[in-house]
Amino acid sequence: MSELKTIDREYIANTYARFPVELVSGKGSLVYDAEGREYIDMGSGIGVTAFGIADDAWKAAVTAQLEKLQHMSNLYYTEPCAMLAKLLCEKTGMKKVFFCNSGAEANEGAIKAARKYAAEKKGPEYFTIVTLVNSFHGRTLTTLAATGQDHYHELFQPLTPGFVHAPANDLEAVKAAALQNKAAAVMIECVQGEGGVIPMEKDFVTGLADFCRAQDILLLVDEVQTGNGRTGALYAYMNYGIRPDVVSTAKGLGGGLPLGAVLFGEKTEFTLGAGDHGSTFGGNPVCCAGALSVLSRIDDALLEGVRKKSAMVFDALRGAPGVESVTGMGLMIGIKTAKPAGDVVKACMENGVLCLTAKDKVRLLPALNIPEDLLMKAVDVIKGACV
Ligand SMILES: *Cc1c(COP(=O)(O)O)cnc(C)c1O
């Protein structure tokens, strides 16, 4: 480990503060370090390995495709990408899909579509995208501009112009920002993830959807973290009974391989035309074959399980000593602890549980299929670390 740490420190750009463990293998929600220590994985690679590590069905789908064809580009038809797009549309009612490789890239595609839609429909001055204070939409210059947290912006000026931020859960403020700025779109996370696992209020989201429809302002929902079963619905917007115009997703979709998707609804399905957008790797057949395996198994029974396990975690943690509050939805859970979240995560790791943080909270994003006993074993360790 110390040798690996030295090499990593010498050759990897200094953008990450790593925990002092080298992970080498895993199965399901268990992961092992180089010294053979076992951990319960409550982060799933930041909400990516939706069915855990080395999931058999996912592995079979990925390796079968790998044996046939790993990449041909978007110049040709390949089956996994077409079948995945079909399944995404059938399960959501959205009309068309653009595939890319990450969450930020999915948001870039959503923003480009919104700008083009509004420019054609209302005029080129309708380019502004309203996003929410405390949001997180990615690390590219445009998605940083969309991200409503100033501390991400400071060192990288000038960012892409045309973004304004309005307070979350303040419908009148968002409406005013949209109208005053000739907005093309409003973009939201239904549960702010990096911002501290904060769900949006139902009235805010439904009121915003009504307003956007009435004004022909597009509603973009960033489901990069909340999507693909994470919140106990296939997509978090479904918990609110709304129909977004554009949905961006990534993280859990590929089950561990890089894959992002932009889903276009009725208004926007023809907005982007030939040559307007593209991606060399987007829709890669191996990634899409894995995603098909993931998406086809996010059914009612699995989602019911996510909601049940969520309730078990909330019940166990709410009111526990050292726990100030528990927020979130489904298996996307934020714990405000009396101790600093970083100290709690460190203590959990020392006791065999890997957790994440989000702002000042401990954040849990376990695999959707984590067994109940393993989940509650991890929750006990977390509870112990909070006192
Ligand atoms: C993680 C995340 C992103 C960025 O995704 P990348 O794959 O890291 O580019 C964007 N939006 C939300 C809500 C996220 O949680």
The residue out of 245, 264, 296 marking a domain boundary is 296
- Provide the 8-state DSSP code for 169: T
**Upstream peptide bond of 158 is cis (omega within 30 degrees of 0):** yes
User: Is 137 close to ligand 1, i.e. is its CB under 6 Å away?
Assistant: yes
Residue 92, judged by CB atoms within 10 A of its CB (0-12, 13-18, 19+), counts as: buried
pLDDT at 305: 98
Q: Of 89, 42, 38, which is closest to residue 368 (Cα–Cα)?
A: 42
Q: Do 268 and 304 sit in the same domain of this protein?
A: no
Q: Do 285 and 212 sit in the same domain of this protein?
A: yes
Q: Do 98 and 243 sit in the same domain of this protein?
A: yes
Q: Do 185 and 243 sit in the same domain of this protein?
A: yes
Distance CA 297, CA 57 (A): 10
How many Cα atoms occupy the beta-carbon half-sphere of 154 within 13 Å?
3
Q: Do 45 and 70 sit in the same domain of this protein?
A: no
Whole-model pTM: value is 0.98
- Provide the 8-state DSSP code for 273: -
Q: Do 288 and 307 sit in the same domain of this protein?
A: no
User: Is 222 close to ligand 1, i.e. is its CB under 6 Å away?
Assistant: yes
Q: Alpha-carbon torsion 254, 365, 52, 226, what sign?
A: negative
User: Is 224 close to ligand 1, i.e. is its CB under 6 Å away?
Assistant: yes
Mutation choice for ligand 1 from 111, 198, 224, 257, CB with most ligand atoms inside 8 A: 224
The pair of three-digit structure tokens given for residue 171, joined into one six-digit string: 């419908």
CATH number of 29's domain: 3.90.1150.10
Distance CA 259, CA 264 (A): 16
The residue out of 296, 319, 351 marking a domain boundary is 296
User: Is 126 close to ligand 1, i.e. is its CB under 6 Å away?
Assistant: no
Q: Do 148 and 233 sit in the same domain of this protein?
A: yes
CATH number of 269's domain: 3.40.640.10
Distance from Cα 225 to the centre of ligand 1, integer Å: 6
Query: Which residue has the least CA distance to atom 15 on ligand 1?
Result: 225
Report, in this order, helix, strand and coil percent for the chain, each rounded to 5.
40, 20, 40
**Per-residue DSSP letters for 208-269?**
HHHHHHHHT-EEEEEETTTTTTTTSSSSGGGGGT---SEEEE-GGGGBTB--EEEEE-TTTT
Q: Are 231 and 242 in contact (CB under 8 A)?
A: no
Distance CA 359, CA 199 (A): 15
Q: Do 32 and 72 sit in the same domain of this protein?
A: no
Please give the tally of structural domains in the chain: 2
Query: Which residue has the least CA distance to atom 11 on ligand 1?
Result: 137
The residue out of 228, 261, 296 marking a domain boundary is 296
Q: Do 146 and 66 sit in the same domain of this protein?
A: yes
Give the residue ranges of the chain where pLDDT is below 70: 1
Q: Do 141 and 255 sit in the same domain of this protein?
A: yes
Q: Do 174 and 100 sit in the same domain of this protein?
A: yes
Domain coverage including residue 36: 2-54+300-386
pLDDT at 1: 67
Q: Do 307 and 341 sit in the same domain of this protein?
A: yes
Coil vs helix vs strand at 47 = helix
User: Is 136 close to ligand 1, i.e. is its CB under 6 Å away?
Assistant: yes
